[in-house]
Amino acid sequence: MFDRLVIEFEFFSDSGKGDGGFVSTFVDQRMVELVFESFLNQVFDKRLNLQSPSVAESVDRTLESNRNPCIDDHCFHCFHNKAKENKSKRLVLRDGTVQKMVSRSKLVQELCELGVVPKPLMVHASLREVGAIEGGGDTLIQALLEVLGARGTMLMVLDADPDKPFDALTTPVDVEDMGVLAELFRNTPGAIVNDHVAARFAALGPQAKELLDPIPLHDYFGPSSIFERFTQLEGSVLRLGADIDTVTLTHYAEYLAQLPEKRRVRRRLLRADIGEQYVESLDDTNGIVDWLEGDYFSQILIDFLNAGNAKTGPVGHCVAELFEARRFVPFAVRWMEKHLR
């Protein structure tokens, strides 16, 4: 028997490669029994469904009815590791390794050493790769905002849950595709969100409104887009363990590249206010051309990084990459014009 123990869960998205996250807290024996009973009653697979409201609600009710919740309100949506009351300062990973909890001050120090400065900063992050943080994803956001200061602006791509009618302010982020941090940032006090069904972003800082509006309904990643203004404002891109194919700034380069043909699409999307809306653009799902070698998004970034165009260094438990939009965009344009003809 025991009085207390540290119970630590790891959660996975449906694809098995999403952000997932961790929940870690001190619990007593009865709490262990109740939580496991709740999970076993809801889950019959080897993986937990990150988006399952039934699982979320079941655990939430169990915790609420037996003690003060050990998971903060964000965990209801994404089960990301908040661990705000975890006094152990460690997290046990699925493979048995132990990560030391990283503090906000340590994150601030590492971001400064990497070269993050007060100006527009677009963030792509996997909280799973960043690893154990005291306070979870919100701490990472606050560390980024602290480093950016009063003159810097943080920018993130949000997109939206495609199964819900789109409302710019209320539709959740598709966290399996965009990551948990995007949903946390959307809900950060002071963050503003633009109203575009196919190109939703959030920004926080003095240049947020300048970056987000206006945006064309069609060809929303091309001229007059958020990406164009971000590049003109000498913004930087920060990658924190994100997948290699997630530099969405590459879409802007697709519009600038001079190619014989580019694939275009017309999509029917659903808004909560007006119903159906049709949007035309270059194909930002399957690519503007078929490249026989595979995914050109990934290869462009690989070649860009191999050419020494980014600063790298530790942030949390991942190797971060920081680079200038004005350097990346022309590199991507030249790459496409050479390889995609």
Predicted confidence (pLDDT) per residue in 80-132, tens digit: 444 444 445 666 565 667 789 999 999 999 999 999 999 999 999 999 999 99
| Residue 9 confidence (pLDDT) | 42
| Residue 223 confidence (pLDDT) | 97
Percent of the chain with pLDDT over 90: 68
Average pLDDT over residues 262-268: 97
Domain count across the chain: 2
Q: Are residues 55 and 179 in the same domain?
A: no
Q: Are residues 275 and 232 in the same domain?
A: yes
Q: Are residues 68 and 135 in the same domain?
A: no
Average pLDDT over residues 310-323: 98
CB-count exposure of residue 105 (10 Å: 0-12, 13-18, 19+): exposed
Q: Are residues 228 and 89 in the same domain?
A: no
* Cα separation, 306 vs 19, whole angstroms: 26
Q: Are residues 225 and 152 in the same domain?
A: yes
Q: Are residues 287 and 237 in the same domain?
A: yes
| Residue 193 confidence (pLDDT) | 97
- For residue range 180-224, list pLDDT tens digits in order: 999 999 999 999 999 999 999 999 999 999 999 999 999 999 999
pLDDT band at 28 (very low <50, low <70, confident <90, very high): very low
Q: Are residues 181 and 312 in the same domain?
A: yes
pTM of the model: 0.77
Which residues 6+ apart lie within 8 Å of 135 measured at CB? 82, 83, 84, 104
- For residue range 135-154, list pLDDT tens digits in order: 999 999 999 999 999 999 99
Is 200 or 16 the better-scoring residue by pLDDT?
200
Contact 212, 199 (CB under 8 A): no
Residue 273: Cβ within 10 Å count? 10
Q: Are residues 188 and 318 in the same domain?
A: yes
Q: Are residues 46 and 114 in the same domain?
A: no
pLDDT band at 163 (very low <50, low <70, confident <90, very high): confident
Q: Are residues 247 and 326 in the same domain?
A: yes
Cα distances (angstroms) measured from residue 254 to each of 118, 174, 222, 264, 269: 28, 24, 8, 11, 22
What's the length of the chain? 341
* Cα separation, 82 vs 11, whole angstroms: 13
Average pLDDT over residues 288-301: 96
pLDDT band at 233 (very low <50, low <70, confident <90, very high): very high
From 82, 100, 118, the end of a domain falls on 100
From 79, 100, 121, the end of a domain falls on 100
From 100, 126, 147, the end of a domain falls on 100
Q: Are residues 232 and 86 in the same domain?
A: no
Does the pLDDT at position 241 exceed 60?
A: yes
| Residue 1 confidence (pLDDT) | 35
Q: Are residues 86 and 198 in the same domain?
A: no
- 284-308 b/e (C-beta count within 10 Å ≥ 16 → b): beebbbeeeeeebbbbbbeebeeee
Task: Dig out the tokens for 175 from the structure.
Answer: 């966290």
| Residue 94 confidence (pLDDT) | 56
Domain that holds residue 13: 5-100
| Residue 294 confidence (pLDDT) | 92
